[in-house]
Chain A
């Protein structure tokens, strides 16, 4: 396969982890990260996939279950070890797979199995880091990345997090794409920019100055050191995702999320 047809997910996997030990659609492999070894995962196109609606870099039935399998294998390798090695999800997923077969055969469960695997890895003490190098869309991102202790992203055209593609969101909310862009400027959670995603307190680092499509070796190493730092700091996290509400950005933009938790806790036990 020539270099020009590599997706970002493939390119960054190769740059950070080298050769994959598993076939498409889920690549996995170990490589050094700081002073330790981490396991890297990426969802990549699979032109020969048995399910025709899941041949692109999307999360379909096999992608979900195979991610779960691969992540669980990484957890099993450290089962008897006190030191749990980091897990890095390289995120470049356009969407979940949309199809009749997918729904019939339970794509929701396939994606849930990946959510479970990543969440369980985090709960077991593995630092889990998501590196967004392309789109991180909706259900596909829930399955591959959103359970991470830390989320970092390249500051590059084409990296984004969102619940629905712009055209589809415009149709559903009966707005034009231009209206959506304008709304995104004032309604932070509706924006498609990474900077707005950061304002929600959900992004731990926006990595600037990196060519996402043709990184230099120095740029790859700078990304690797960001990942190592993120994994290292995640080791002192309390369990769960509560840290996402602790940043200054979250205190400002997610005040309602914090208020709901505070007041629900007050009312939890009857007076």
Chain B
């Protein structure tokens, strides 16, 4: 069965409880078991960006990242949620360090035999350019932690939208054991505007919304196995999908370990004829229950 089928019945917006419309803090709370949400380094701790005030930019007391402990299906968990309303969810020294540190502490506990379930809610354009090199550095630190941590416990990423997940953070998402996306979530390394800017409008017209969604939208990512579950924009659906993928356990081979298989798929692609449909023909949706050992 395709993983792209974890969906609710046909859209009935009135009855749904939108996940996208929630703030990062509300999202984290919604994913943890009821009554277990406990925020770490919250707004009252006031650890703010040391770099934004020097550039005349107003800080936010949580620097746009919310870290919350609690449980998921009764198991200790940590949720790192990025707030897109602050600086577009961009990763600065503090927001990125909060996420990296949360993953490093989860790793420390796992190494001591205490499993902590990590969830990252990606909503980010990537590096915060006002903190350029430190944004990039903390993303590398986050990536190191994900690679080490996912040997013990699945690292679960959620790309709900509307910002999506871009830049160096798209690599962090790629490293996750499982990715859950909505149709409104987009996952790509270079944003459409950046591609148009760098490669020209003949390469990609970033205003062609249909083409952009078919290229990097959640539905396409799930249909091609680059995300594991496509869910509706519904809090219950996202909660259920997170619990479902944790129940699957650590994959036999993570996507980024399936090097031979992906190189083989790439070899079957004709660069002169790359379309969303061709991509789906070659890159299939992942099998839900039986991750195969690829190499």
Q: Determine the chain A residues whose CB is within 8 A of the CB of B204 once the complex forms.
A: 99-100, 103
Contact status A256-B145, CB under 8 Å: no
Q: Determine the chain A residues whose CB is within 8 A of the CB of B224 once the complex forms.
A: 106
* Dominant secondary structure of chain A at its interface with chain B: helix
Closest to A197 in B: B133
Q: In chain A between 90 and 106, which residues have their CB closer than 8 angstroms to a CB of chain B?
A: 95-96, 98-106
A68 CA to B257 CA, complexed, in Å: 8
Q: Determine the chain B residues whose CB is within 8 A of the CB of A242 once the complex forms.
A: 104
CB distance from B59 to the nearest CB of A (A): 11
> Is A123 interfacial (CB-CB < 8 Å)?
yes
Contact status B197-A104, CB under 8 Å: no
Closest to B282 in A: A105
CB distance from A219 to the nearest CB of B (A): 27
Q: Which of A68, A163, A261 has the most CB atoms of chain B within a 10 A radius of its CB? A: A163
CB distance from B281 to the nearest CB of A (A): 12
Contact status A103-B104, CB under 8 Å: no
Q: Determine the chain A residues whose CB is within 8 A of the CB of B175 once the complex forms.
A: 112, 115-116
> Is A220 interfacial (CB-CB < 8 Å)?
no
B 132-163 to A, binary, CB cutoff 8 A, 1 in contact else 0: 11111111110111011000000000000000
> Is B58 interfacial (CB-CB < 8 Å)?
no
CB distance from A178 to the nearest CB of B (A): 16
Q: Give which listed residue, B50, B139, B188, B262, contacts A256 with CB less than 8 A.
A: B50
Contact status A189-B132, CB under 8 Å: yes
Q: Give which listed residue, A99, A164, A173, A244, contacts B203 with CB less than 8 A.
A: A99
A 253-266 to B, binary, CB cutoff 8 A, 1 in contact else 0: 01111011101110
> Is B29 interfacial (CB-CB < 8 Å)?
no
Contact status B148-A100, CB under 8 Å: no
> How extensive is the interface on chain B, given as a class?
35 or more
Contact status A260-B147, CB under 8 Å: no
> Is A172 interfacial (CB-CB < 8 Å)?
yes
> Is B290 interfacial (CB-CB < 8 Å)?
no
> Is B38 interfacial (CB-CB < 8 Å)?
yes
Once A103-B195, A138-B127, A187-B54 are accepted as A-B contacts, the answer to whether A260 and B69 lie under 8 Å apart by CB is no
Once A62-B266, A100-B203 are accepted as A-B contacts, the answer to whether A163 and B147 lie under 8 Å apart by CB is no
Q: Determine the chain A residues whose CB is within 8 A of the CB of B145 once the complex forms.
A: 240
Contact status A264-B168, CB under 8 Å: no
Contact status B94-A53, CB under 8 Å: no
CB distance from A187 to the nearest CB of B (A): 6
B 23-66 to A, binary, CB cutoff 8 A, 1 in contact else 0: 00000000000000010110001010111001100000000000
Closest to A51 in B: B271
Contact status A260-B101, CB under 8 Å: yes
- Give the interface of B toward A (CB within 8 A): 38, 40-41, 45, 47, 49-51, 54-55, 67, 69, 93-94, 97-98, 101-102, 104-105, 107, 126-127, 129-141, 143-145, 147-148, 167-168, 170-175, 187-190, 194-195, 197-199, 203-204, 215-216, 224, 226, 254-257, 259-260, 262-263, 266, 269, 271, 274-276, 279, 283
- Could you list 9 examples of A-B contacts with CB < 8 Å? A104-B276, A112-B143, A115-B175, A116-B147, A142-B136, A146-B136, A162-B133, A168-B197, A259-B47
- For the complex with contacts A96-B189, A103-B216, A106-B226, 20 further pairs of A-B residues with Cβ separation under 8 Å are A51-B271, A68-B256, A72-B259, A100-B195, A100-B199, A109-B262, A112-B170, A113-B257, A162-B133, A163-B132, A172-B129, A173-B129, A189-B134, A241-B141, A244-B137, A254-B134, A257-B97, A260-B41, A265-B101, A268-B40
